[in-house]
């Protein structure tokens, strides 16, 4: 927020936007504050670091995501000149899409793999589109409304990794039936394959019937892969067996 003698009275002929952005100063009676929309934080040395825009914050699958943070991570990759990250709806599900301008043809699989090392899984874009240029508004800012709609062809799937144990194999069969896909690797993302909340609930119900293990939906949102779910299932079954063994020992004694 900004304030002071040089602050305007509001937007010309736009009372609703004026009321939204020009708010009452909490510490100075009769004065106003202007909400810039910038998001910042105090650093230990007393300086302020701007981390993005409030209107760049979105919520996807229960997680609050800063689109600007994703854009900064992509811009740090070699050959990338411009980027715009947006959330679009595809097949009734929200997906994170990255539109990239690069100095040459960019390897989208490599870009996704690179981002997976610096961003949480829920922030890594699932769709990648290379453009000649990013559309701009009259004031020179990215015009996200002019970005093309992504399609299933823009999804970057991980390299196929086959199941390595019985739990992963049984999980892969469940995913194939729920998602209607023939081959699914243990590193593939459930939501990138067309999964949504209803299919996730159906899949977790099948998991409970198959393994007698109840998994939380938030667990799937955090790490939506067969490899991760199989690890949790095996751990839960091992702990249950440990408890059963301890109980049996007590009875024998």
User: How many domains does the chain contain in total?
Assistant: 3
**How confident is residue 52, by pLDDT bands cut at 50, 70 and 90?**
low
Is 26 among the domain residues? Answer: yes
Q: What is the pLDDT of residue 252?
A: 57
Domain boundary among 109, 132, 154: 154
Query: Would 118 be classed as within a structural domain?
Result: yes
- Looking at the fold, whether 191 and 143 belong to one and the same domain comes out as no
69-83, 156-170, 233-247: the lowest-pLDDT one: 233-247
The pLDDT confidence band at residue 120, using thresholds 50, 70 and 90, is: confident
CA geometry: angle at 95 spanning 122 and 219, to 5°?
Answer: 35
- The pLDDT score that the predictor gives to residue 45 is 84
| Interatomic CA distance for residues 207 and 173, integer angstroms | 11
Instruction: Indicate whether 21 and 34 sit together in one domain.
Output: yes
Is 193 found in the same domain as 172?
Answer: yes
Q: Place 214 in a pLDDT band, splitting at 50, 70 and 90.
A: very high
In a domain, 9, yes or no: no
What is the rounded average pLDDT of the residues 143-149?
92
Other Cβ atoms closer than 10 A to 199: 18
> What pLDDT shows up at residue 225?
94
Q: What local confidence, expressed as pLDDT, does residue 51 receive?
A: 61
pLDDT-based confidence at 208, cuts 50/70/90? Answer: very high
Domain check: are 68 and 42 in the same one?
Answer: no
Would you say the C-alpha torsion 128, 94, 54, 11 has a positive or negative sign? positive
DSSP per position, 166-178:
HHHHHHHHHHHHH
Tokens at 151, concatenated: 């399609």
The pLDDT value recorded for residue 37 is 66
pLDDT over 80 at 204, yes or no:
yes
Residue 136, CB-side half-sphere exposure with 13 Å CA sphere: 8
Distance CA 102, CA 83 (A): 9
In this structure, the answer to whether residues 117 and 69 fall within a common structural domain is: yes
Query: Do 68 and 143 fall into the same domain?
Result: yes
Give, in order, the Cα–Cα distances in Å from 91 to each of 60, 119, 195.
15, 25, 9
- The closest alpha carbon to 67, from 59, 75, 76, 57, belongs to 57
Domain final position from 100, 132, 154? 154
Would residue 8 count as lying in a domain? no
Express as a percent the part of the chain with pLDDT over 90: 45
Asked if residue 36 and residue 23 are part of one domain, the reply reads yes
Confidence of residue 248 (pLDDT cuts 50, 70, 90): low
Band the pLDDT of 79: cuts 50, 70, 90.
Answer: very high
For residue 118, how far is the Cα from the chain centroid? 13
Please name the residues in contact with 135: beta carbons below 8 A apart, sequence gap of 6 or more. Answer: 142, 143, 146, 147
175 backbone φψ class: left, alpha, beta (φ>0; ψ -120 to 50): alpha
* Cα distance between residue 216 and residue 14, in whole Å: 46
Q: Are residues 36 and 68 in the same domain?
A: no
Please enumerate in sequence order all residues whose Cβ is within 8 A of that of 212, keeping only pairs 6 or more positions apart, or say none: none
Print the domain residue range for 244.
166-252
């Amino acid at each position: 927020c900004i304030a002071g003698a040089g602050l305007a009275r509001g937007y010309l002929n736009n009372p609703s936007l004026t009321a939204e952005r020009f708010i009452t100063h909490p510490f100075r009676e009769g004065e106003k504050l202007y909400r810039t929309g910038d998001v910042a934080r105090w650093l230990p040395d007393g300086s302020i670091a701007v981390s993005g825009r409030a209107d760049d914050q979105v919520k996807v699958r229960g997680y609050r995501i800063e689109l600007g943070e994703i854009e900064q991570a992509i811009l740090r990759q070699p050959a990338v000149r411009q980027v715009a990250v947006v959330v679009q709806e595809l097949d009734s599900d929200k997906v994170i899409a990255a539109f990239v301008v690069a100095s040459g043809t960019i390897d989208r699989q490599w870009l996704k793999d690179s981002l997976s090392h610096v961003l949480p899984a829920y922030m890594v874009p699932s769709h990648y589109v290379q453009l000649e240029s990013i559309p701009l508004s009259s004031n020179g800012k990215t015009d996200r409304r002019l970005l093309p709609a992504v399609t299933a062809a823009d999804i970057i799937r991980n390299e196929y990794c086959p199941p390595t144990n019985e739990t992963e194999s049984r999980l892969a069969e469940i995913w194939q039936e729920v998602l209607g896909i023939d081959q699914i690797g243990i590193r593939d993302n459930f939501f990138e394959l067309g999964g949504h909340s209803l299919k996730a609930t159906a899949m977790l119900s099948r998991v409970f019937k198959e393994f007698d293990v109840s998994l939380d939906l938030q667990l799937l949102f955090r790490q939506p892969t067969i490899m991760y779910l199989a690890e949790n299932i095996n751990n839960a079954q091992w702990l249950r067996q440990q408890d059963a063994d301890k109980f049996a020992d007590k009875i024998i004694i």
